[in-house]
Amino acid sequence: MTVDHPADLTIVSLLPRLLDTNGDAANARVLAQRARWAGLSARIVPVHAVADLPATVDLVVIGSGTDTDLVAARDALSTLAEPLRAWLTGGVPVLAVGTGWELLSAGLNLADGSSVDGLGLVPGRAGALPARVTDDLVVDADGLRLLGFENHLRGYAGAAAPLGTVDYGTGNGDGTEGAVDGSFIGTHLHGPVLARNPQLADRMLGTAAAARGLTLTPTAQTESVDGIAKAARNQVAVRLSLTSE
């Protein structure tokens, strides 16, 4: 276990060497920077093995990988199954993207008819789609518009609850996108998702900060960056003939 250093928030990035195909490990950097803009200190701890774990964990980010690394990533994550279970049951905000999310589920059904067992830590299972989906993805998450790009071979069924409904794109393949189970969020949204959708980042940060008795207070810097992200989402909305925010 690594030696702790004083910080308001500790953000763990799991397996960033294996699970960062679409740059999704950068979601940890988004969380850390937004925390700092809000006046909180934050540090990112890359975790590749149990020995890397800090004593205190406030948020967890898991990125996506390639199918050629599915078994290697699953086996690496399995060594961290107990901490992951503790974080999930303890209400620690966990964001998992793409295969990082799928590997926490019951398993993955592949296009060739084979399957890969998951860790079974979150409800549901990933199943093969007719073809790879590569396109914009726009999601209505209880009135919050989430936007990114999707690049995946599988949909998802059996989630405790979806992250939202699909306004444009494929998502889970049934009109919904992602999964929510307590403090856990799983999604096909790349971008990275928290950079393009800072309100989602602040939901996670707010939960983590409240658990530590801290307050997340937006600043002029966060408002400026949020304006840029909103303008970028609106540009995509116009291109897709969707209503702007």
Q: What's the mean per-residue pLDDT of the chain?
A: 95
So what's the pLDDT on residue 6? 54
So what's the pLDDT on residue 104? 98
- The string of pLDDT tens digits covering residues 20-29 is 999 999 999 9
- The correct answer on CATH 3.40.50.300 for the domain covering 9-239 is no
Query: Across the 245 residues of the chain, what is the mean pLDDT of every consecutive 10-residue run?
Result: 65 97 95 96 97 97 96 98 98 98 98 96 98 97 94 98 98 98 98 96 97 92 92 92 92
Residue set of the binding site for substrate? 132
State pTM to two decimals. 0.95
130's CB contacts (< 8 A; 6+ apart) are none
Q: Determine whether 190 is an active site residue.
A: yes
Residue set of the binding site? 132
So what's the pLDDT on residue 96? 98
* C-beta neighbour count of 219 within 10 angstroms: 13
Distance (Å, whole) CA 216 – CA 236: 29
So what's the pLDDT on residue 1? 47
DSSP the chain: -PPP---SEEEEEESTTTS-TTSGGGHHHHHHHHHHHTT--EEEEEESSGGG--S--SEEEE----GGGHHHHHHHHHTTHHHHHHHHHTT--EEEETHHHHTTSSEEE-TTS-EEE----SS-EEEEEEEEEEEEEEEEETTEEEEEEEEEEEEEE--SS-SEEEEES-TTTTSEE-EEETTEEEE--BTTHHHH-HHHHHHHHHHHHHHTT------HHHHHHHHHHHHHHHHHHHHTT----
Give me the residue spans of the domains in the chain: 9-239
- The string of pLDDT tens digits covering residues 32-60 is 999 999 999 999 999 999 999 999 999 99
Active-site option among 48, 152, 188, 190 = 190
